[in-house]
Chain A
């Protein structure tokens, strides 16, 4: 048991290091985006009619601490994020980022998680069936469908679905909430309304994720199915679904659990584009907005960091989970 705790601690420490590295990357990116907070604040003053000079900008930079060395500012930012969970203010929207994001980030995370679950709910059974069946037609068509998930871009799928629903149902299926719930507080009714809108982004994000998941499950199953222990089990008279579930499937799902974090990564990738097309009001759309339109580095940095942090967290949990359920991994990891 103490060994297990030690293992979990090591993993947690590693995850923390990864997060720190990520925060450095994100912070560097934020610095790359043109414009600084000082310029933004003074540009706003300029619109209010007051004259500004270079000296004003320098003074403002000093006030905001922007003249400090890069590393010092990074440490301050990271410190605020890790200790207080505070991302500061967005210089463009002049709002506290935590308030701005609050719900929206959880909605995004929820949608992505739902897409992830959906993709594996489809991919695991179908992948196992396809790996164990010798039917060339079934296999080839599955291969084709899953590659189509890669080739047919998400945004196109979203567009086509929107087009059909507009033409046939007169509803474009966009957005996340109906009008009356948009600014309402969370309630059962609002949640129901949310679900009735959220299925489309979940489906679209799950579409290409399913293709990948199917590929992985199938490849892993094919590797395991040819092994001797499976032959031995079937020689002992175990057959059918029982054979598949108890022997190769159990083994091949380990690596799948391990790669969940990267699947979530892939889904996050698609989120801003899908959000843009379906005009969702959540973090993905905000991210797009802040990067492509307004150069709002504070907001963008916060969102990218949160997305990555949730991937790191998921990776951590899957590592622990894997160690709990798979004795081989436990032994390998804990030495």
Chain B
């Protein structure tokens, strides 16, 4: 362990002092930093979150139908090159493409690369307008409408002059898969976050009440929790999602899906909170607070909850990939978010067609991001769990 390295030393004394006076958060962080796998996962996770956040800046074209490339449908990924048979170029380039349909091509659209015509890559080009950190609520009553955006711009990281570049290729309607993947990461994260938050609040209230009061309230709440835990979640999701009318806009669907995920995800966490509270509430410090006349909500908020905040954070981190996975599964079967919205599940839905499997393998690129995202979450969650467990170090 890091504080035991040198035993009888002046520096050691200070390190020891720092250790004993460190807050719970500092301790967890210092243990977490020692875990290399978890740190790599954390970097990957932060990178992906940033990519999702700055998706409009990073992607040269609008990921919706407005940004489609009509001349390059189902197009293969275009990888920038520095040289070819016509010589070397400092500025990376791609080739211009040409679409042809005639008797020669059997009357189908065939896209050919023109190897003698280069499109050069430029940094910081102007393109479609976008906003980042947008808050746009259209609540009933004009007074409550919020329309706020931190960044409004049309600056993009890269682009080519006189043509379009598609790093990950395009889909059947010519939408840029690179842009769609980035914005899908953000959507899936947002759905997951909302779902986790809702289930967290529910778990806190239900588990808190059950654990603090105990007795018959606990028994009844436990029965309900167990019943919900036994019903398989995805069929339940499907039943709730079937309730969603087709006429709903994509934003409404988005919120509804998050709410469903939250409504079903709470029982596991609620159970854990309850068990913890049941053991904690008989401790002396709770009795002391009660004798001082503290109300029960005060005891729960100020004394009981802080005693296991770190475990709650870890639990939330661990439940995150399940949320994202559920969203993907729902969208995959067509009950979740649908095509105009870019979520990882909606993108994966495209993969399932035989045509895609055999001819357009670049549709699989979003899947790689999904796997990386889930793995990053799981490893970070694992690292956090190890770090938050005060006994983890003493075992090995």
Chain A residues within 8 Å of B, Cβ to Cβ:
17-18, 21-22, 25-26, 29-30, 32-34, 140, 147-148, 150-153, 155-156, 159, 162-163, 167, 222, 226, 261-262, 265-266, 268-270, 272-273, 276-277, 287-288, 291-292, 295, 300, 303-304, 307-308, 311-312, 315
B243 (CB) vs chain A CBs: closest residue: A32
**How distant is the Cα of A321 from the Cα of B23 in the complex, in angstroms?**
45
Interface string of B352-381 (1 = CB under 8 A from A): 100001100000000100110011001100
On whether A22 and B227 interact (CB within 8 A), knowing A33-B243, A151-B374, A269-B235, the answer reads yes
Picked from B227, B238, B241, the residue with its CB within 8 Å of the CB of A25 is B227
Question: Is there an interface contact between B230 and A311, defined as CB atoms closer than 8 Å?
Answer: yes
On whether A18 and B227 interact (CB within 8 A), knowing A29-B239, A156-B351, the answer reads yes
Question: Is there an interface contact between B395 and A226, defined as CB atoms closer than 8 Å?
Answer: yes
On whether A163 and B357 interact (CB within 8 A), knowing A150-B321, A151-B374, A276-B333, the answer reads yes
Q: List 21 A-B contacts (CB under 8 A).
A: A18-B227, A25-B228, A26-B231, A30-B239, A33-B242, A33-B243, A34-B243, A147-B378, A148-B375, A151-B370, A151-B378, A152-B371, A159-B352, A222-B395, A261-B230, A265-B233, A273-B234, A276-B333, A287-B238, A291-B335, A311-B230
Label chain B's interface by main secondary structure.
helix
Task: Please tell me the number of chain B residues within 8 Å of chain A, measured between CB atoms.
Answer: 42
B351 (CB) vs chain A CBs: closest residue: A159
Residues of A within 8 A of B228 (CB): 25
Residues of B within 8 A of A287 (CB): 235, 238
Enumerate the 7 nearest inter-chain pairs by beta-carbon distance, A residue then B residue, closest first. Answer: A21-B227, A151-B374, A268-B232, A269-B234, A291-B238, A29-B239, A151-B371
Question: Is there an interface contact between B239 and A270, defined as CB atoms closer than 8 Å?
Answer: no
Residues of A within 8 A of B65 (CB): none
Q: Confirm or deny: B55 has a beta carbon within 8 angstroms of a beta carbon on chain A.
A: no
On whether A291 and B235 interact (CB within 8 A), knowing A159-B352, A226-B395, the answer reads yes
Question: Is there an interface contact between B242 and A18, defined as CB atoms closer than 8 Å?
Answer: no
Label chain A's interface by main secondary structure.
helix
B357 (CB) vs chain A CBs: closest residue: A163
Q: Confirm or deny: B281 has a beta carbon within 8 angstroms of a beta carbon on chain A.
A: no
**How distant is the Cα of A153 from the Cα of B245 in the complex, in angstroms?**
27
Question: Is there an interface contact between A312 and B239, defined as CB atoms closer than 8 Å?
Answer: no
Segment touching A, from B27-35, B45-53, B304-312, B324-332: B324-332
Chain B residues within 8 Å of A, Cβ to Cβ:
37, 223-224, 226-236, 238-243, 245, 321, 325, 328-329, 332-335, 348, 351-352, 357-358, 367, 370-371, 374-375, 378-379, 395
Question: Is there an interface contact between A288 and B238, defined as CB atoms closer than 8 Å?
Answer: yes
Residues of A within 8 A of B371 (CB): 148, 151-152
Question: Is there an interface contact between B235 and A307, defined as CB atoms closer than 8 Å?
Answer: yes
Question: Is there an interface contact between A270 and B234, defined as CB atoms closer than 8 Å?
Answer: yes
Question: Is there an interface contact between A150 and B374, defined as CB atoms closer than 8 Å?
Answer: yes
**How distant is the Cα of A32 from the Cα of B234 in the complex, in angstroms?**
16
**How distant is the Cα of A17 from the Cα of B227 in the complex, in angstroms?**
9
Question: Is there an interface contact between A153 and B325, defined as CB atoms closer than 8 Å?
Answer: yes
Picked from B226, B233, B367, the residue with its CB within 8 Å of the CB of A156 is B367
**How distant is the Cα of A151 from the Cα of B232 in the complex, in angstroms?**
19
**How distant is the Cα of A307 from the Cα of B243 in the complex, in angstroms?**
21
**How distant is the Cα of A276 from the Cα of B330 in the complex, in angstroms?**
13
**How distant is the Cα of A295 from the Cα of B241 in the complex, in angstroms?**
11
Question: Is there an interface contact between B348 and A21, defined as CB atoms closer than 8 Å?
Answer: no
**How distant is the Cα of A295 from the Cα of B239 in the complex, in angstroms?**
9
Residues of B within 8 A of A288 (CB): 238, 333
On whether A303 and B230 interact (CB within 8 A), knowing A151-B371, A153-B348, the answer reads no
B332 (CB) vs chain A CBs: closest residue: A155
Question: Is there an interface contact between A268 and B224, defined as CB atoms closer than 8 Å?
Answer: no
Q: How far is the CB of A314 from chain B (nearest CB, A)?
A: 10
Question: Is there an interface contact between A272 and B357, defined as CB atoms closer than 8 Å?
Answer: no
**How distant is the Cα of A32 from the Cα of B239 in the complex, in angstroms?**
8
Residues of B within 8 A of A291 (CB): 235, 238-239, 241-242, 335
